[in-house]
Amino acid sequence: MGVTFIDLFAGAGGFSEGFLQADGGARYDFLAASDINENCELTHLLRYNHQLGLDLPFLRSDVKAPDFVDRLSALVTRPVDVVCGGPPCQSFSLAGRRRKNDKKDDLFAGYLRVIERLRPKYFVMENVPGILTKDGGAHKERILREIGAMVDDRAVREVASKLGDGEEAWIRLRLTRDADGYATALGDAFRDATRTNLDYRTSKTSRDVATVRHGIRMLGRVSDLARLVDTITREKGHADIDNDAFVDEFDRFIDVLQPDAIVERCLEALKRLPAVDLAMPLRTALLTPAECLDRVAVLRPDLQRACADARLYRCADALTLDASDYGVPQRRKRVVFIGCRRDQKLIHEVPRRVAAGERVTVEEALWDLDFLQSGQASSEYRPVREAAVASRQADGRAGGDRTYAAWSRQGRVPGCRPAAYVYDREDYDAGKLTVAPLHNHQAATHNAKVTARLQAIMDAGRFEADTAADLAAMGLGTGKRDYTPLQANQPAPTIVTIPDDYVHYRVPRAPTVREMARLQSFDDSFVFQGKRTTGGNRRKDEVPQYTLVGNAVPPLLARAIGEEILKVIE
């Protein structure tokens, strides 16, 4: 039996494709996938169930839903060796303005809850480079800290059983009781302290006493408060509350419900109650089990080894990978966290597969698809020329027996049935599948003015301030802030979800879905289902073909990661 994996935040399935290709295929067993969007599910059903015959369960759900982990666990009937996924990263991206309290920022916490339950040998989490710098690097450090915070409950209880009195006693309570149980003990201690050290009137009427008492009660309800914060954050995102008269009040309310903010207010109140000393146990309330173990290692050197052995996972650091180093015809940088269970070997790097001077170019990837003009579509290959391009291996390395385009046409995943397309789930259930040699190859219709503008940008080879001025002088001005012309002899820049941001390298038009998929290293047999594109507010909820492509992990990058895991997994 192969190495098993599941794909969370699966999107189009870039991780899945890469893992199924790894080491020539047949080394990984795909157990389940999940995403919140209907078209992601439809694309997976066509690819993995219809084409590859895997009978693959797909959980369409929000990873933050209270029952998500239970429902996922019920679908997985074998131990999981690897969990992969890329939590949505719009709030981390350097491409746009970042929002405070963005509902996507905490999706990685839901991802880690799956890790804690399934206990895979390895997990892979992908994101954009912006995560390294957001809030001065605090988000990256939080991810690494929370990876290290996953602990073995049985080993933690063993450590707790050896702790003594004083601070050790409070740490023991923190390790062995849930938030409500710890808050109950803290509340009892505060009640006793106020009865002993404060007069009756003060204990009953002081605002500071009430603040501490009520704050402790809130600490016992952190799970309920977290659900409330999630609801408010979702409503904030749904209503697009940002840069308006509402945003500060929303953010302040969210902030005041955070456990550290609650403790800070309690500590400020305690400063005005000098006879009551609960600062240490209040701060202990904020400690994760891993942080408790760190403190125990300081207090009790004899337990340092036991504390280290209680940790479940390790991660060397965030890796910044450029997809073009792994056979993808695109300069797409991504940050990858590869964590391993404590009984497995750390992965410190993913060695590049392609030398800097041998990267796959745009023309290598697209030459046999560039026959379409504006407004045209084709369900078959009709190349109008032969391109002098190098032969490569399946993973993009030089020296193989076919070109990159030929690998894309033939496919890198063995055993595929003919490629098929459906518009929606109703057509899929009714068996209304459109089978053809080529799918997703339809060019946008541009009017004469737009076509002339795109031709001028192609001729200039760039779109900058002077280019825009020249276009305006020719009567071809545009309100768009940016165009990126693709260069034939170079890898593409990072492909995103809006095709009109790019100008084709040979024809004055935007790239098709199929062409963008080639630049992402998807095989042509991988069909993107549903509607081709969408616009306006619908972009918040719909995931059409262009969005599926632009948000995907490049399969050849995922393949390289999967192969590194295969080298060391035990």
pLDDT digits (tens, 9 = 90+) for 415-459: 899 999 999 999 999 999 999 999 999 999 999 999 999 999 999
Is residue 426, in this structure, part of any structural domain at all?
yes
Is residue 548, in this structure, part of any structural domain at all?
no
Average pLDDT over residues 141-149: 86
Between β-strands 82-85 and 122-127, what pairing exists: parallel, antiparallel or unpaired? parallel
Q: Are 329 and 359 a contacting pair, CB within 8 Å?
A: yes
Phi, psi (degrees; rounded to nearest 5) at 115: -60, -45
Q: Are 326 and 353 a contacting pair, CB within 8 Å?
A: yes
Q: How far apart are CA 285 and CA 259, in angstroms?
A: 9
Residues 6 or more apart in contact with residue 488 via CB below 8 angstroms: 361, 362, 363, 505, 506
pLDDT band at 536 (very low <50, low <70, confident <90, very high): low
**What pLDDT digit, counting tens, does each position of 254-274 carry?**
999 999 999 999 999 999 998
pLDDT at 107: 80
Q: Which helix (H) or strand (E) holds 321?
A: strand 319-322
Closest C-alpha among 430, 431, 420, 424 to residue 379: 420
Closest C-alpha among 462, 478, 329 to residue 408: 329
Closest C-alpha among 530, 525, 528 to residue 551: 528
Q: Which two tokens stand for residue 509?
A: 């038009």
**What pLDDT digit, counting tens, does each position of 58-73 carry?**
999 999 888 999 999 9
Q: How far apart are CA 528 and CA 546, in angstroms?
A: 8
pLDDT at 102: 52
Residue 92, pLDDT > 50, answer no
Does 368 share its domain with 435? Answer: yes
Does 326 share its domain with 298? Answer: no
Does 21 share its domain with 74? Answer: yes
pLDDT at 96: 44
Written as one letter, the residue type at 245 is A
Q: Tell which of 279, 302, 325 closes a domain.
A: 302
Residues 6 or more apart in contact with residue 318 via CB below 8 angstroms: 131, 132, 140, 143, 144, 335, 336, 337
Q: Are 388 and 400 a contacting pair, CB within 8 Å?
A: no
**What pLDDT digit, counting tens, does each position of 289-322 carry?**
889 999 999 999 999 999 999 999 999 999 999 9
Average pLDDT over residues 338-360: 96
Does 51 share its domain with 142? Answer: yes
Q: Which two tokens stand for residue 272?
A: 């005005």
Q: How far apart are CA 146 and CA 411, in angstroms?
A: 39
84 is catalytic: no
* Distances from the Cα of 3 to the Cα of 13, 83, 552, angstroms: 18, 11, 23
Is residue 209, in this structure, part of any structural domain at all?
yes
Does 235 share its domain with 114? Answer: no
Q: How far apart are CA 8 and CA 80, in angstroms?
A: 13
pLDDT at 502: 95
Task: List the CATH number of the domain containing 58.
Answer: 3.40.50.150
pLDDT at 106: 66
pLDDT band at 95 (very low <50, low <70, confident <90, very high): very low
Q: Please tell me the total count of domains within the chain.
A: 3
Q: Tell which of 280, 302, 324 closes a domain.
A: 302
pLDDT at 537: 66
Q: Are 566 and 27 a contacting pair, CB within 8 Å?
A: yes
Kindly report the pTM of this predicted structure. Answer: 0.84
Is residue 540, in this structure, part of any structural domain at all?
no
The neighbouring-strand residues paired with 8 are 85
Residue 100, pLDDT > 70, answer no
Does 480 share its domain with 501? Answer: yes
Average pLDDT over residues 99-120: 76
Does 328 share its domain with 390? Answer: no
Residues 6 or more apart in contact with residue 154 via CB below 8 angstroms: none
Does 380 share its domain with 480? Answer: yes
Does 386 share its domain with 454? Answer: yes
pLDDT at 148: 86
pLDDT band at 231 (very low <50, low <70, confident <90, very high): confident
pLDDT at 539: 64
pLDDT over 90 percentage in the chain: 75
Residues making up the chain, counted from first to last: 570
Does 492 share its domain with 404? Answer: yes
Q: Is the dihedral of CA 21, 24, 26, 27 positive or negative?
A: negative
**What pLDDT digit, counting tens, does each position of 33-56 carry?**
999 999 999 999 999 999 999 999
pLDDT at 65: 85
Is residue 550, in this structure, part of any structural domain at all?
no
Among the listed residues 84, 89, 292, 315, the single catalytic one is 89
Q: Are 27 and 3 a contacting pair, CB within 8 Å?
A: yes
| Cα torsion through 171, 174, 176, 181, rounded to 10 | 140
pLDDT band at 76 (very low <50, low <70, confident <90, very high): very high
Does 89 share its domain with 201? Answer: no
Question: Higher model confidence: residue 385 or residue 217?
Answer: 217
Q: Are 175 and 167 a contacting pair, CB within 8 Å?
A: no
Q: How far apart are CA 519 and CA 418, in angstroms?
A: 22
pLDDT at 338: 97
Q: Is the dihedral of CA 124, 20, 26, 491 positive or negative?
A: negative
Q: Are 520 and 14 a contacting pair, CB within 8 Å?
A: yes
Closest C-alpha among 7, 5, 10, 6 to residue 88: 10
Q: How many CB atoms lie within 10 A of CB 287?
A: 17
Phi, psi (degrees; rounded to nearest 5) at 306: -65, -40
Q: How far apart are CA 363 and CA 505, in angstroms?
A: 8
Residue 89, pLDDT > 70, answer no
DSSP strands (E only) in 93-232 = 122-127
Residue-range definition of the domain harbouring residue 400: 362-533
pLDDT band at 98 (very low <50, low <70, confident <90, very high): very low
Between β-strands 333-341 and 502-503, what pairing exists: parallel, antiparallel or unpaired? unpaired
Task: List the CATH number of the domain containing 421.
Answer: 3.90.120
* DSSP string over 195-254: HHHS-HHHHHH-HHHHHHHHHHHHHTTHHHHHHHHHHHHHHHHHTT--SSSSHHHHHHHH
* Distances from the Cα of 239 to the Cα of 242, 265, 341, angstroms: 9, 30, 40
Q: Are 269 and 208 a contacting pair, CB within 8 Å?
A: yes
